[in-house]
Structure formats: structure tokens, C-alpha cells
């Protein structure tokens, strides 16, 4: 009897829709958010605890980009698997303590594929062990053999069922094999396509499932090529396109022009020009809209459709019900049967959500041309999730003084610095410092902390061991 009760309790615990650690982290995040971002569209603190990234693990990169947000010393630090694994493990442990048992985290440094495949795999496994859903951030100039060794391991057996990669491609990068000094974005299309094809081949060979994001820095020099790039990239097989308007952060020797005139509006206008339609982003906010702009949707037969139309009250009602009742449920990374039970447990308390969801689904289906059309697209493998994002890092010249004031508990009087503080307070992209127990915004990491950290790492991990 006692054992049965214990099993039942365990089952109840496992199928609990939201883990108590996540619920606590969400409540903390929501309570700490500035009032202006606590909108009905806000997912930070209601569904998401925020994204995470590593730092100080492998700062070196073998391409040279202009701009580059790494500090001048980054390329003088040796890539070291043991150091990476120790740091990743410690950083993830702190993130798990502070942000709960589940979050998306980027394995990011310099260039991730400078790690030996086994070290890269060990870092990903350490992140998974801490409940993180990791994404490796690469410049995409990587050989198929490297990826195969990452996936399969020395014994030839597959060690990952699924991998998530972001490939960064833009014409501001220098040193890519075959496109050392690209004169246009179009010159990089074969390299973008090749990157996706490498994963297709891996899937055919090993059964690996994957999620690929395309990331791109946008500066005045390539802004007018964004629309054509979007049109070229959409059919390739990425599931996300993320754009980062260039900021004055990192190695100042790599700033080639003023970046101030390229902002989220300018990039979004190019995106809409590419798709020939409005791309609504108002239904979902992630942190401060000056930092992040997001549009979730899907591609069907080459046409993009949003999941939520902010002009439709019924769809907004569906979003509200989702955030109120399903916020915090880990939809990705949870085994399907377990997820189904979690969803049923939510619906037991909110049976009206079934009708709300059906109304929403009917609208989305109608928008995409009806169920038959979607089914045909799915059969032809022409149906795919596609998220668009603009993430606008801030200039170091603003972040450093704004952060210094925040550390002293002071609100800046100067409007520009106050706006910076507001954005930092609603940051969605955190980096962990186990030595102090602190989580800091990535803007602070790159603008304020990276130079000192890389100078220390340069002594700890010199390129030529002494």
C-alpha cells in the first residue's frame, strides 16, 4: 500500500504541469519586471524564465567580423576542453538554481566548433544534465566530419537524438573558407545552404533530429540586402531567422562605421518587404520591445503565416488563456505522452480552453488556406515552423554607466541611460557568474565584464603554454 501511494505521488509530481522551481522563477522574474513591460503580451515571467548563454568558456574565434562584440583579448585565449566543461557545468548549475529546472541556453563563446567534437559534446551533455535545452552558436564554417564526430562519438554510436544549432552568416564576416571577403550577402547563399544540407545528410545517416536558426548581424553596409537574403534563406530549411542590428560593443578596432541608423524598425521593414506582407509582432513581447521583437509563425508552401493575429480579439483571447493557464509548461523537450498528461491536467481546471483553442485553430487554418492545403504542404514537406526575431544589443557607452548606477541602486536621470536601465531590468538573455552567484544581462557581460574576464583568461589559458 505504502509503495503504491509513493508511486502515485511520484506520478502526480512528474505530471505536474509546471515544476515548482519554474513557478518560483517565473514569479520572481515577473515581480522584478519594470511596470512598462508587464503587458498582456509579455511572456517573460509568465511563460518563459528567459534565455541563457555561456561566457568565458572559449572566447576565441577563427573568423574576423566587423563589428565583433568580443573584447580585444578574446583571440589570445586558448580553447581548452577541460576549462570549458568546468565553466559550463558551474554556470549551468547556478542557472538551474536561479531559473529553475528548464530553460533554453546557448553554448556561445567565440566559435564553438574550435572545441574538439568530444569536448563540444561533453559541454552539451552538461547543459542537458542541468535541464537546459542547448543551442550551439557557430559561424557555420564547419566540416561535415566535425558534425558527424559530434553526433556519433568515438564508438560510432549516435550520442544525441536532437541538436540545435545557430549558424551566423553575413557579409560583415571575414575569413570564411571559400568566401574570405564576401562582397555581398548573395555570395554567402551557397554556404548557408551547405550548412543546412550537412544536417540533412546527418539525419539521413544517423536519424538525428535538428533545429537550425540563421543569425545575421545587420549594419548600414548590408541593410539593403536583408530582404533578398530573407527570400533566399526561407526555402533552405532553417526554422528561425534572427537579426542583430550592429551595436558599438566589443573590440572598437572592428567598428567600421556608425551603426546607430540601423534599428529594429529598419530591419523589420526589410523583413516585411521580403515577405510582401506585414509581420505582426505585437501579440507577443519578450522582455523589453526595444531589445526583442518576435513573430512566431509557420511556412506553408512558401508563404509565412503568424500564429497570432494581434488585430483579432479571438486570437488574443487564446493567447491570454494560454499565458494564464499554460504559462510555464515546458512544451519543448518534454516527452509527448508526459506533455499530453500535463495538458490534460490543465484542461481539467480550465475546460473552456478547448473551445478557445478550437476557435483559434479554425482562424489559423483559414488564414493558411484551409486544412487540405496544409495537409498537402505537410505531405510535400513544405510545412515548417518559422520564427523571426530582431535582438538589439545596446552600445557599451550606454550600458557601462547605466549598469554602474544600477549597482549602486540609483535610477539614472539622463533619459538615454534610464532607458538602458529599463531594458537591463527586463533582460531576457542572462549569463551566470558562479563566483558571485550573480546573473547578468549579456549586454553587461560584453560591455563591462568581458574585457577583464578575457584578460584573466589570457593568463590562465595562453595560446602558447608556458
Q: Which residues bind ligand SF4 (CB under 6 A)?
A: 287, 291, 391-394, 423-424, 427-429, 441-443
Query: CB-wise, 394 or 461, nearer to ligand SF4?
Result: 394
Shortest distance, CB of residue 424 to ligand SF4, whole angstroms? 5
417: Cβ contacts below 8 Å, ≥ 6 apart = 398, 401, 402, 405
Shortest distance, CB of residue 286 to ligand SF4, whole angstroms? 8
120: number of Cβ within 10 Å: 23
Strands 429-433 and 51-53: parallel
- CA torsion 260-261-262-265 (nearest 10°) is 120
Of residues 215, 200, 235, the one with CA closest to residue 169 = 215
Query: CB-wise, 83 or 423, nearer to ligand SF4?
Result: 423
Q: Name the percent of the chain in helix, strand, coil, to the closest 5.
A: 45, 15, 35
SS3 assignment, position 129:
helix
Shortest distance, CB of residue 420 to ligand SF4, whole angstroms? 8
User: Distance (Å, rounded) from C-alpha 158 to C-alpha 34?
Assistant: 45
Shortest distance, CB of residue 261 to ligand SF4, whole angstroms? 18
Shortest distance, CB of residue 117 to ligand SF4, whole angstroms? 29
User: Distance (Å, rounded) from C-alpha 208 to C-alpha 160?
Assistant: 7
Q: Within 13 Å of residue 269, how many CA atoms lie on the same side as its CB? A: 7
Shortest distance, CB of residue 130 to ligand SF4, whole angstroms? 21
Are the beta carbons of 77 and 461 closer than 8 angstroms? yes
Query: CB-wise, 118 or 395, nearer to ligand SF4?
Result: 395
At 104, list the grid cell: 533554453
327: Cβ contacts below 8 Å, ≥ 6 apart = 18, 26, 43, 46, 47
User: Distance (Å, rounded) from C-alpha 379 to C-alpha 463?
Assistant: 52
- Whole-Å CA distances, 87 to 53, 73, 250, 270, 345: 12, 19, 22, 39, 38
Residue at grid coordinates 568581458: 450
299: Cβ contacts below 8 Å, ≥ 6 apart = 234, 305, 382, 383, 384, 385, 386
User: Distance (Å, rounded) from C-alpha 212 to C-alpha 446?
Assistant: 25
Query: CB-wise, 222 or 392, nearer to ligand SF4?
Result: 392
At 416, list the grid cell: 538615454
Of residues 366, 266, 293, 357, the one with CA closest to residue 41 = 293
Amino acid at each position: 500500500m505504502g509503495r503504491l501511494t509513493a508511486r502515485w505521488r511520484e506520478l502526480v509530481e512528474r505530471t505536474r504541469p509546471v515544476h515548482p522551481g519554474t513557478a518560483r522563477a517565473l514569479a520572481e522574474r515577473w515581480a522584478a519586471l519594470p511596470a512598462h513591460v508587464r503587458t498582456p503580451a509579455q511572456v517573460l515571467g509568465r511563460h518563459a524564465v528567459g534565455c541563457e548563454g555561456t561566457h568565458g568558456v572559449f572566447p576565441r574565434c577563427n573568423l574576423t567580423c566587423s563589428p565583433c562584440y568580443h573584447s580585444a583579448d578574446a583571440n589570445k585565449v586558448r580553447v581548452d576542453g577541460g576549462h570549458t566543461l568546468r565553466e559550463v557545468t558551474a554556470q549551468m548549475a547556478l542557472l538551474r538554481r536561479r531559473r529553475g529546472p528548464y530553460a533554453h541556453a546557448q553554448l556561445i563563446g567565440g566559435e564553438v566548433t574550435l572545441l574538439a567534437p568530444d569536448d563540444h559534446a561533453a559541454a552539451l551533455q552538461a547543459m542537458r544534465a542541468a535541464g537546459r535545452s542547448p543551442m550551439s552558436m557557430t559561424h557555420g564554417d564547419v566540416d561535415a566530419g566535425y558534425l558527424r564526430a559530434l553526433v556519433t562519438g568515438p564508438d560510432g554510436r549516435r550520442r544525441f537524438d536532437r541538436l540545435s544549432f545557430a549558424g551566423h552568416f553575413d557579409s560583415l564576416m571575414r575569413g570564411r573558407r571559400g568566401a574570405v571577403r564576401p562582397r555581398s550577402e548573395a555570395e554567402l547563399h551557397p554556404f548557408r545552404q551547405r550548412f543546412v544540407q550537412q544536417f540533412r545528410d546527418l539525419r539521413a545517416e544517423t536519424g538525428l533530429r535538428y533545429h537550425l536558426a540563421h543569425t545575421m548581424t545587420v549594419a548600414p553596409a548590408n541593410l539593403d540586402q536583408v530582404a533578398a537574403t530573407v527570400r533566399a534563406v526561407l526555402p533552405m530549411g532553417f526554422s528561425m531567422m534572427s537579426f542583430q542590428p550592429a551595436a558599438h560593443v566589443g573590440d572598437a578596432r572592428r567598428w567600421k562605421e556608425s551603426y546607430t541608423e540601423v534599428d529594429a524598425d529598419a530591419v523589420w521593414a526589410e523583413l516585411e518587404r521580403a515577405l510582401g506582407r506585414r509581420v505582426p509582432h505585437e501579440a507577443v513581447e519578450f522582455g523589453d520591445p526595444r531589445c526583442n521583437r518576435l513573430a512566431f509563425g509557420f511556412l506553408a508552401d512558401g508563404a509565412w503565416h503568424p500564429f497570432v493575429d494581434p488585430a483579432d480579439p479571438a486570437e488574443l483571447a487564446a493567447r491570454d488563456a494560454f499565458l494564464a493557464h499554460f504559462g510555464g509548461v515546458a512544451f519543448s523537450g518534454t516527452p509527448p505522452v508526459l506533455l499530453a498528461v500535463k495538458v490534460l491536467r490543465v484542461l481539467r481546471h480550465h475546460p473552456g480552453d478547448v473551445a478557445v483553442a478550437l476557435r483559434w485553430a479554425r482562424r489559423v487554418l483559414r488564414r493558411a488556406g484551409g486544412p487540405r492545403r496544409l495537409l498537402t504542404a505537410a505531405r510535400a514537406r513544405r510545412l515548417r515552423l518559422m520564427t523571426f526575431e530582431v535582438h538589439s544589443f545596446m552600445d557599451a557607452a550606454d550600458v557601462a554607466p547605466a549598469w554602474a548606477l544600477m549597482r549602486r541602486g540609483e535610477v539614472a536621470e539622463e533619459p538615454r541611460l534610464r532607458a538602458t536601465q529599463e531594458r537591463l531590468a527586463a533582460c531576457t538573455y542572462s549569463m551566470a557568474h558562479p563566483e558571485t552567484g550573480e546573473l547578468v544581462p549579456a549586454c553587461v557581460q560584453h560591455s563591462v565584464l568581458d574585457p577583464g574576464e578575457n584578460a584573466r583568461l589570457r593568463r590562465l589559458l595562453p595560446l602558447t603554454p608556458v
